[in-house]
Chain A
């Protein structure tokens, strides 16, 4: 009888232990799953909000705003074949029609959005610059363009961007390390190759980067070359195939905010794709206007015809074709940028060489519908 009772007590304890463990595992799993779902929910909601804000920002030109978000780590990436995404945890979204130039990683609970209108000479789209107050920007150089960029980012923006200017690369040693998670140097008139950034030696190489901006004098600095650099040990070194180009200063700002060459080049490729379609639209519109005004033998017909249908210099078609080439392969060379700029803005006194902007001024003079 005693033996039986002892077995029963032992069995009860075993039973309670097994059932207890099962119940414990069950609730632990539920809690873990719930935590996972909550994190995923926050990530999805932040991604959706960023998407909506980016679309809104891209709809209004020349605006800046600072947005509060939950403290998450957002990664923005562009692959070599230009698959552009932004990602929080395991959730990601594809960037389709918005051109967002940003560091490859955004940390902290604030996002800075700034947009600039990109027109050549007609409006194509708004370029969106996205960054964090925890990224430091250092302008190196004191040329006119360097001062212009510094004053634009320092006082021209209504948002607190961590920015400072140093006249020469030698002054970089005076830049204090304030624990920003990324540092971007922007060189004007100096080659960053071999420049020491020893105070940031402990930071990961990919988080201390630089670009060199070499503006082209023939286009009033509206086109130019950009070279990407990254820290190696304690000096800056050029990135492999890191040379690219800009068309208009708005694109130059795009390079300044892009964390790496892929983010810049892929956004520009997408922007040129859009330029191609918008150009074709203006081509169709100019043909429609040309037909209407030619039928009435009005003076403006000549300007529409120059814009769309001049065999020797079909301005809009030239821009469209160059844009198509660059949407396929970017970067190509600086000459393509200069050619496009010339077709758009040339102020030549020879009528047959005038750019689209000049032709548009002529039709305005005659009170005809604008070309764009």
Chain B
């Protein structure tokens, strides 16, 4: 074999190894990015559940109010019942709240003394990749008997 051919072979070898390392490094970087993206998706889902909780917590549609002053973590029983009727029967209402709550499920369960259940919103999806559930203790106010009940606000968020 001639010297020049050996030299050429060496150069080709170095280049092959160089590009192999570049491709390997790039694929490693891509995989790391993919993993970070998945992590970010998870973080976003958690952020989303906080956002939904903030919305559900302060919405005038559910909140107790006395003389125009809203009470934190208190849900008016008659408003919940009225909302159930509203979202079930009125045209366009569900579409409106889909923009607000997305693919999630929100319900309120009375724990003590009764066991009433209020289905606020349901837009769950069949096949999901992630699902986050959060339950927050709340009080449910009966405006006619002026009594409070202990309840749980359950929020489930889905993501593909």
Contact = CB atoms under 8 A, between A and B. Distances in A.
B125 interface: no
B144 A289 contact: yes
Size category of the B interface is 20 to 34
Contacts of B55: 55, 59, 97
Interface string A114-155: 000001001111000000000000000000000000000000
Nearest to B12: A15
A119 B79 contact: no
- Determine the main DSSP class of B at the interface with A: helix
Interface string A95-124: 011000000000000000000000100111
A369 B144 contact: yes
A362 to B, nearest CB: 13
A280 B90 contact: yes
B134 interface: no
Given A278-B61, A285-B79, A52 B100 contact: no
A292 B77 CA distance: 14
B78 A278 contact: no
A292 B65 CA distance: 20
A47 to B, nearest CB: 12
Contact of B143 (A8, A281, A369): A369
Contacts of A61: 70
A21 to B, nearest CB: 14
B96 A59 contact: no
A372 interface: yes
Nearest to B50: A52
Contacts of B61: 277-278, 281
A282 interface: yes
Interface string B54-80: 110110110001111010000000110
A55 B54 contact: yes
A284 B65 contact: no
B127 interface: no
Interface string A299-337: 000000000000000000000000000000000000000
B66 A60 contact: no
A26 B44 CA distance: 33
Contacts of A289: 78, 143-144
B116 interface: no
B65 to A, nearest CB: 7
A52 B47 contact: yes
Contacts of B44: 48
A288 B78 contact: yes
Interface string B74-111: 00001101110110001001001001100000000000
Given A59-B58, A284-B82, A285-B82, A370 B51 contact: no
Contacts of A157: none
Contacts of B82: 281-282, 284-285, 288
A200 B81 CA distance: 56
Contact of B68 (A56, A123, A278): A123
A285 B82 CA distance: 5
A191 interface: no
A26 B93 CA distance: 53
Interface in B2-58: 4, 11, 15, 22, 44, 47, 50-51, 54-55, 57-58
A55 B68 contact: no
A281 B99 contact: no
B25 to A, nearest CB: 10
Contacts of A56: 54
Given A59-B58, A60-B58, A292 B144 contact: yes
Interface in A34-68: 48, 51-52, 55-56, 58-61
Contact of A122 (B60, B67, B78, B93): B60
B107 to A, nearest CB: 17
A326 B81 CA distance: 27
Contact of A97 (B4, B83, B93, B100): B100
30 contacts: A19-B15, A55-B51, A59-B54, A59-B58, A61-B70, A97-B55, A119-B68, A122-B60, A123-B65, A124-B60, A273-B96, A277-B86, A277-B90, A278-B60, A278-B61, A280-B86, A280-B93, A281-B83, A284-B83, A284-B86, A285-B78, A285-B81, A288-B81, A288-B82, A289-B144, A292-B144, A369-B143, A370-B65, A370-B66, A372-B65
Interface of A: 8, 15, 19, 26, 48, 51-52, 55-56, 58-61, 96-97, 119, 122-125, 273-274, 277-278, 280-282, 284-285, 288-289, 292, 364, 369-370, 372
